[in-house]
Every structure is written in structure tokens, then in C-alpha cells.
Amino acid sequence: MLKKALSDCGIRIADCGLPIAIAEFGLRIAEYPIPKLLAAIAFRNPHSETRIRNPNSAFRIPHSQIRILPSAFRIPQSLMPYLYNTPDDQREMLRAIGAESIDELFAPIPADLQLKRSLDLPPAMSELELDRHLQMLAGLNDHAAKKVCFLGGGSYDHFVPAVVDAIAGRSEFYTSYTPYQAEASQGNLQVMFEYQSLITRLTGMDVANSSLYDGASAAAEAVLMALHAHPQRRKIVAPASVHPQYRETIATYLANLDAELVTLDCPGGVIDADALAATVDGDTAAVLVQQPNFFGCVEDADRASAIAKTAGALLISVFDPISLGLLKRPGDYGASIAVAEGHTLGTPMSYGGPYLGIMACDQSLVRRMPGRIVGETRDRRGKRCFVLTLQTREQHIRREKATSNVCTNQALFAVRASVYLAQLGPQGLRETASLCLQKSRYLAGRLCENDRFSLAFAAPTFKEFVIRDAANDVDGLLRTALEAGYLAGLPLAPWYPELSDCLLIAVTEKRTKAELDGLVHALSAAPARQEALS
């Protein structure tokens, strides 16, 4: 029956067994006239079988029966949009190589290790089909234009100016590799040098590298730096007000090393200075401070810094780049290493990545820094230029003695951050920070007009804050708000069981008064659970 269906489609079947004929059909299409093929396309089911579809009938062949046959012919390039080699090219190239077939080139792979079937993946799609498929999938997501986003916790719905996309969309930037050949990469190198300069100005630190993966892994790398700088000290102190995912990442990085992560409770939403002073000791290599912290509260960074310094420990600042339009810079309060999640500088939320790990440090630590660093120098003719430098820290030179294993970084997001910072300038950054502050405080105030809601912590906040629901029905609140079109906030229960009646709400410069009032209305209208009220 299958033979008949295929021959109905004009496809001749070799004398070999049926499954082989199918494989030939599926994998070596070039042997058959294309127009006929289009009438009978092989669909590979992701699960277990291959389907042959023609206008009249459908058949299923178990994958286990499919075999790949050697053949000199390859997929017609019409099906493969990025390949150049025509069958004639291939023949000529094989002749020059002195090989009979492409399969012969794979002969060094022992036959018993070669895959005897085709990969179990969905069939190829044209660009139009792919676009339609992705539009469908994207349409299933409630993105920021569909639901007003009040979510924070390390990712924020800040505005991205068009100029950022225009520059980062230059393919000379996004399709180039790491600037190992300085002469062919002065554009990237100068942008990196300027990025490092912008970050040092933003943070008040001495030097910056040219990017790490993201904020959390940058924090973990900072911890490793501190441990190397203090080989006798084994303790890292992180208050509970540091982003839980950052602390989890640090814990992962320390799991197999001789070091200990000590978490300091923050019942008041900020570091308790006395408790910190009692925890930090001569064995402490570093103290982490997040500013503003995970709850949005502004820490007394000067105090934490003084405590760390007294014990001879390094202060690692985890900062919010936007906040530096208003708040003191990490360098101002004596941080030795400053790290941040930099996506807020010109990169959309992108479901969490790729992002930008910012790292800056004291001059004294520069040779311990992970990642690539760009420096200024002169060329053969005395012209100012830029190169990758201090490479003896890095894995490609030092291998197991390197300061870190980082190779590929997030260079394109350093480009985005640079353009963003240039676009905003000092004034724009200040205004952005100010809008975040004013709007979030307005929202907090409005919410607390309702007796049901109160601020969980007394400390002043910047763009995020924690509200407590007296009715203890965070899930209900979130559900009601979602129906009204708002992603109202992050429930804290997964990370802080004692805050299971609390919601972390973030407000960026993008939120309008109408949206803020709308959220207040939606949350106030939420019915409280019966048992909570009684």
C-alpha cells in the first residue's frame, strides 16, 4: 500500500526493503524530482515515527526501521537557505580532495558510532512558516504591552531608546567575534574602552572589565576574587537582603571550594549593623551589600563598608545602575568590588537573558579581575589605539591558573549599555532615577491608604517596595490583578517563607499615573479570602 501511494506520487522505490526506500525518500531527496516531492513530503514526528503524507493517504513508519544510505547526492540547496554548494560544486570539491563522497569524509568516525537514522527533530520550515509559528508562540505570552509590568527582583521594565537598537543592530557589531585581531576590531575595542570608562564614572571605581554574563554570576566572580585576594580568609557574609538568586549562585560557586557563605537575617528589611558587626570577623574575606537591596530598601552602605573595613574584609557592592542617578556610587562608600545587573541600561527584559554582568573594582585588584579588559596603547606608527590587555589573567594564556574561565562574555550588551548611558547623559540618568523614585513612592503611598495594605519595612525605598497584605492572600491579589491587566508584583514566599503575605512591587519611569492608579484600584477591588478576614 505504501509502495502504491509513493508511486502514485511519482516516486520510484528502489529494490531494497521498504524502510530503506522511505529513508532514501526522506534523506536523499535530491534523487527525486522536486515538484513531485512537494506532493509527498516526509514529516518527521518528534516522538517516534515518520509520516508520509500525500493528498490521499497517510502512513506511519517507526523510526527504528529507518536507515541512512550512503549517497553521493545531498540535500538540494533550495531547502537549505544558508548553504552555497551546488551538487556540481560538491563534485568538484570532492575531486580536489580526492574523495568519492561526502560520507567518505566522515570515515574517520567508526561506523558503529555513526547515527544510522535521521535525527528525531521536526521537519524544516520556510521563513514564512517559521515566522507564523513564532508569531503564534509569541502570541501566547503576556508581554509588557499586554499586561502592565510591576515585576522587579533583578529585571525591570525600563525604557529602551530607539538609538540603542539602531546601533546594536549594526551587523559590524553583532556579527563580529572577540577582538583578538586588534587591527580588524578597533570599533569594538574602542567601544569597550569607552564602556569601561563609562562604568568607572558611573560607579566611582578605578577600573571595569568589559562584561561578564549577568549580575548574579558577576557577584559570584567577585566573591572568588575576594577569596583569592584573602587566601587566609574563608568566610563570605551576605545579608538576606541580597537577591536570593545571587546568593544561590554564590552558594553554587562555593560548593566545592574551601569557603563558607554566611547569611545574615534582615528582619527589618535592611542590614542590622550590630548583627553584621558581630558576624564579620578576621576570617571574613568579603561582605556583600546590595544597594538598593532586594526589597527595594536603601541600605546604610557607609556603615556596612566601615564594618567590613574594620575587619579587613572587602566590601562587594551589588548596585542598581539606574539608582546611581541619585544614590551614592559604590566608590563613594568604599566598595572594593562593584557588580551589577546591567540589562537595565538599554536591554529589554528578554525573559531574563542574555543580560549584562557589570564588574568594576579597585586598582589594587585589577590583576585578579575575571574577563576581558581593553587598554589603550599606540600602534606601529604611533597612533592611539586599543587592544585586549592584561591577558595573562585569562584562560587562553594561563589555563588552570587563570583568574576565571570566562571566555565568551556579553560584549553586545556593553555596546547597548554604552549607547544608553550616552543617550541619557548625567541629566537623563538623574531624571530617570528620579521618576522611578517618585512614582514608586506615590504608588506605595496610595496602596497604603487601604487598610489592607502596609509597607513591610520602615526603611526608605528607591524603585521597589514590599507591601504586606493583612488579608494574607497574595495569590488572590495576583490573580485579580492579572485579570485586570497587571503583573502586580512578585510573591516573596518562595524565598522568604516568613514574608508569605508580602508582595514585591517595582515601578520604573515607564509607568504612568493612570497605570499606578489602575493597579491601586485593581488590588483594592480584590476580594479578601473569607477565613483571613474572620
Partner 1 sequence: MRNTRDTQLLFDLSKPGRRAARLPACDVPERPPEELLPAGAIAAAAPALPEVTEPQIVRHYVNLSTQNMSVDTHFYPLGSCTMKYNPKRNERAAAMPGFADLHPLQPAETIQGMLHVLYEMQQYLSEISGLAACSLQPAAGAHGEYAALLVAAAYFRDMGQSEQRKRVLVPDNAHGTNPASAVMAGFDTVAVKTLKNGGVDMADFYAKLDDRIAVFMITNPNTVGIFEPAMRELADAVHQRGGLVYLDGANMNAILGVTRPGDFGADMQHYNPHKTFSGPHGGGGPGAGPICVTKRLAPYLPGPVVEKELRGASCEAREDEIAPFSPLSPRNSQLHRYSLTSPPKSIGRVRSFVGNVGVLLRAYCYIRTHGPDGLRAVSENAVLNANYLLSRVKHFLPVPQGDRCMHEFVASGSRLKAERGVAAMDVAKRLLDFGYHAPTVYFPLTVPEAIMVEPTETESKETLDAFAETLFRITGEDPQLLHEAPHTTPISRPDEVQAARQPTLCCPVF
Ligand X SMILES: Cc1ncc(COP(=O)(O)O)c(C=O)c1O
Q: By CB under 8 A, which span of 10-18, 278-286, 296-304, 518-526 interacts with partner 1?
A: 296-304
Pairing of the two strands 235-239 and 284-291: parallel
- The DSSP-derived string for 456-518 is S--S-BSSEEEEEETT--HHHHHHHHHHTTEE--EE-TTT-GGGTTEEEEE--TT--HHHHHH
Structural contact between residues 346 and 416, judged by C-beta atoms closer than 8 angstroms: yes
CB of 166 to partner 1, least distance (A): 7
Select 256 or 408, whichever has its Cβ closest to ligand X. 408
For partner 1, the binding residue among 69, 80, 278, 533 (CB under 8 A) is 80
Question: DSSP assignment, residue 234?
Answer: -
Q: How far is the CB of 408 from ligand X (least distance, A)?
A: 3
Q: Which residue is nearest to ligand X (CB)?
A: 408
Task: Number of residues interacting with ligand X: please give it, by CB under 6 A.
Answer: 2
Of the candidates 137, 232, 449, 534, which one interacts with partner 1 according to CB under 8 A? 137
> Which residue(s) pair with 456 in the sheet?
none
Query: Could you say which of partner 1, ligand X, none residue 155 binds, taking C-beta under 5 to 8 angstroms by partner kind?
Result: partner 1
Residues 401-440: x where in contact with ligand X by CB under 6 A, - otherwise, as a string: ------xx--------------------------------
Instruction: Choose among partner 1, ligand X, none what residue 509 binds, the Cβ cut-off being 5 to 8 Å by kind.
Output: partner 1
- 336, 404, 480, 508: which one binds partner 1 (CB under 8 A): 404
Within 201-260, which residues bind partner 1 (CB under 8 A)? 201-202, 204, 207-208, 210-211, 213-217, 220, 224, 243, 245-246, 248-249, 251-253, 255-257
- Beta bridge partners, 316, equal 288, 337
Q: Which is nearer to ligand X, 407 or 533 (CB)?
A: 407
Take residue 263 and report the three cell numbers written for it.
Answer: 547569611
| 12 burial via Cβ count (<10 Å: 0-12, 13-18, 19+) | exposed
Nearer to ligand X, 69 or 407 (CB): 407
Q: Shortest gap between Cβ of 69 and partner 1 (angstroms)?
A: 13
Residues in contact with partner 1, total (CB under 8 A)?
A: 217
**481 near 527, Cβ under 8 Å?**
no
181 binds ligand X (CB under 6 A): no
Q: Evaluate whether 324 touches 202 at the Cβ level (below 8 Å).
A: yes
Region near partner 1 per CB under 8 A, out of 8-16, 83-91, 450-458, 523-531: 83-91
Omega cis (within 30) before 292: yes
| Residues with Cβ within 8 Å of residue 186, at least 6 apart in sequence | 385, 386
For residue 72, what is its C-alpha cell? 553521493
CB 39 within 8 A of CB 57: no
Binding string, residues 26-65; x marks residues near partner 1 by CB under 8 A: xx-x-------------xxxxxx--x--------------
246 binds, among ligand X, partner 1, none (CB under 5 to 8 A by kind): partner 1
Collect contacts of 65-68 with beta carbons under 8 A, ≥24 apart: 65/19, 65/22, 66/19, 66/22, 66/23, 66/26, 66/117, 66/118, 67/19, 67/20, 67/23, 67/116, 67/117, 68/23, 68/27, 68/115, 68/116, 68/117, 68/118
Of 5, 40, 191, 287, the one binding partner 1 (CB under 8 A) is: 191
d(CA 266, CA 246): 16
Among 419, 467, 499, 503, contact with partner 1 (rule: CB under 8 A): 419
Residue 64's binding partner out of ligand X, partner 1, none, with CB under 5 to 8 Å set by partner kind:
none
Q: Which of residues 451-510 bind partner 1 (CB under 8 A)?
A: 460, 462, 478, 482, 487, 490, 509
Whichever of 363 and 408 has its CB closer to ligand X, that residue is 408
Q: Which three cell numbers stand for residue 381?
A: 606608527
Who contacts 361 (Cβ-Cβ below 8 Å, separation ≥6)? 205, 206, 207, 208, 222, 225, 336, 337, 338, 368, 369
447: closest CA among 393, 414, 486? 486
Q: Which of 390, 448, 493, 528 binds partner 1 (CB under 8 A)?
A: 390
Per-residue interface string for the shown chain with ligand X, residues 360-399, x marking contact by CB under 6 A:
----------------------------------------
Candidate segments 9-17, 77-85, 305-313, 466-474, binder of partner 1 by CB under 8 A:
77-85
Cα–Cα distance for residue pair 362/207, rounded to 1 Å: 6
Nearer to partner 1, 311 or 415 (CB): 415
In angstroms, give the least distance from the CB of 138 to partner 1: 3
User: Cβ closer to partner 1: 38 or 140?
Assistant: 140
Q: Pick from 326, 484, 493, 532: which binds partner 1 (CB under 8 A)?
A: 326
Going 216 to 222 to 223 to 228, the CA torsion angle's sign is positive
Give the single-character DSSP code of 29. Answer: G
Using the 8-state DSSP alphabet, how is residue 150 labeled? -
List residues binding ligand X (CB under 6 A). 407-408
